[in-house]
Amino acid sequence: MPKVSEEHRTARRDEILDAALRTFSAKGLERASMADIIAESGLSAGAIYGHFAGKRELIAAVAQRTLGARRAELEAAQAGGAPLSPAEVLGLLLRGMRASFDTGLLVQLWAAAATDTEVGEAVRGPVASIRATFTEAMRPWFEAHADAHGASPAEALARCIPLAMALGQGFMIQRQLFDDFDEERYLAMVAEVLPH
């Protein structure tokens, strides 16, 4: 039997994740089943289970892939220029999420994580990745503005991260709940709340 290349495995994995994301968006995280994902992908059950143990692993992988794309956007935006301010980092991440991901899935994921221990375990890694992404992306700005905050750059950054995460979650939740939510005004106000 010929050996499958890593490139082929990666392409197949992405194909499965795309099908999972479409299924989660159409049916919601709770109602989407592995059978639904298999049908959406057009692949065999063996092909899916050869890459992912089940739905929770797929949820975590979709989240990690999405975060990886956001990290790449941040790295590109930071390359060769002045460090992005915390407000710019959050704005870039939220606009990227809004453009490429059903943000309602995040709200569902947070709700499921609060009541389902297994989902909570699956989500903990991606949420820790969000925190690490904020930290990595904002650190250069705090280091460049070391004297502006009355604390060491590490302390000022540590105080900012939970606020930035909460503002991001607030954006996602309000976007889902309120038809009159003004996303651009919210993002403009973020720039007034976070250091800039």
Backbone phi and psi for residue 79, each to the nearest 5 degrees, phi listed first: -60, 120
d(CA 68, CA 86): 19
Backbone phi and psi for residue 180, each to the nearest 5 degrees, phi listed first: -95, 15
Question: In the structure, what pLDDT confidence band is assigned to residue 3 with cuts at 50, 70 and 90?
Answer: low
Question: What class, spelled out in words, does domain 1-52 have in CATH?
Answer: mainly alpha
Return the beta strands (E) in the chain as ranges.
none
Dihedral of CA atoms 171, 23, 114, 180 in degrees, nearest 10, equals: 30
Share of the chain above pLDDT 90, in %: 40
Q: Does residue 47 contact residue 5 with C-beta atoms inside 8 Å?
A: no
Whether the predicted pLDDT of 1 surpasses 60: no
pLDDT at 64: 80
Whether the predicted pLDDT of 24 surpasses 80: yes
pTM of the model: 0.79
Q: In the structure encoding, which two tokens stand for residue 94, read together?
A: 């939220």
pLDDT at 113: 79
Q: Which amino acid is at 174?
A: Q
pLDDT at 142: 93
Domain ranges of the chain: 1-52, 55-193
**Highest-pLDDT range among 2-16, 41-55, 77-91:** 41-55
CB-based contacts of 43, cutoff 8 Å, min separation 6: 12, 15, 16, 19
Mean local confidence (pLDDT), 34-46: 94
pLDDT at 2: 58
Cα-based distances in Å from 96 to 88, 102, 183: 12, 11, 13
Mean local confidence (pLDDT), 137-157: 87
- The pLDDT tens digits for 45-60 are 999 999 999 988 888 8
Instruction: Pick the more confident residue, 89 or 97.
Output: 89
d(CA 178, CA 27): 21
